[in-house]
Structure 1
Amino acid sequence: MTAAKPKPVQTVPVQGDEAAAAICDVIRRIPRGWVATYGQIAAMAGLPRRARLVGHVLQNLGTGTKIPWHRVVNARGEISASPSRNGGDALQRQRLEKEGVEFDDNGRFNLERFRWRD
């Protein structure tokens, strides 16, 4: 029995998908050193209650993307950890710390302090 071939990773066509484009446009506006939640991004993109869609769009971005995906966090003031991110959790924390976001010993940060308000 041979192992199944993994499915190729699909990238989100930002130009062709209006919802993905709206999400990416909002994420591009998050300033350095600030974060926004998945739900916040969805609402600002005109897609209220579609936080999971934001996560799906981010999960399907190409590796060379210029979109600051690392600035999108969960509503608990944490990075949303997942084994499917292949080390992306550590990279996200590293990038946020480089921008000045301060984490406590439990891997959390003060969301009210670092939340971007457009």
Structure 2
Amino acid sequence: MKDPNFFEKVFDVVRLIPPGKVTSYGAIAKFLGMANSSRMVGWAMHAASNAIPPIPAHRVVNSSGLLTGKIHFGTPTLMEELLSSEGIIVVNDKIQQFKKHFWDPTIELL
């Protein structure tokens, strides 16, 4: 069987993030053994809109809890709306109580 490429590995991790939780580009990169590849995780999230099964890309934010990827959603507020529907409060594009909602794949999946 072919080894999945980096984007597919990112997608597999993101599909495991539970509703009401978020993680960062860097946390995913670190989990995949490529700690300096946060931007590549970002590019994977940019490509996630066509993935099947769907990717909950709205659950991936920067390391400060900012919705830096929101420009890649259908509307300027869609990412925030999706997070809000899961009980996550966002103010000025920043997740409130970020540590409470943070899901670390290196802890949750190892």
TM bucket, shorter chain: 0.7 to 0.9
Structure with the greater alpha carbon radius of gyration: 1
Q: Does 1:75 align with 2:63?
A: yes
**Residue 107 (structure 1) aligned with residue 93 (structure 2):** yes
Change (3 A) 1:64 1:40: closer
Taking only the aligned residue pairs, the percentage that are identical comes to 29
TM-score (norm 2): 0.79
Q: Count residues with an aligned counterpart.
A: 102
Structure 1 gaps of 5+ residues are 1-14
Which residue identity is paired with 2:45?
A: L
Partner of 2:100, secondary structure, is helix
Preserved contact between residue 61 and residue 67 of structure 2 (Cα < 8 Å)? yes
2:49·2:55 contact (CA, 8 Å) conserved in 1? no
Residues 1-118 of structure 1 correspond to what in structure 2 (within 5 A)? 17-63=4-50, 65=52, 66-80=54-68, 83=71, 85=72, 87-104=74-91, 106-109=92-95, 110-117=97-104, 118=108
Partners of 1:70 and 1:93 lie apart in 2 by: 8
Q: 1:45 to 1:89 in 2, by over 3 A?
A: farther
- 1:90 maps to a residue whose letter is T
Q: Give 1:17 shift.
A: 5.0
1:91 to 1:57, Cα distance in 2 relative to 1, 3 A = same
Q: Indicate the RMSD between aligned Cα atoms, in angstroms.
A: 2.2
Q: Is the CA contact (8 Å cut-off) linking 2:61 and 2:69 kept in structure 1?
A: no
User: What TM-score do the two structures reach when normalised by structure 1?
Assistant: 0.74
Quick one: distance in 2 between partners of 1:54 and 1:89?
21
Gaps of 5+ in 2: none
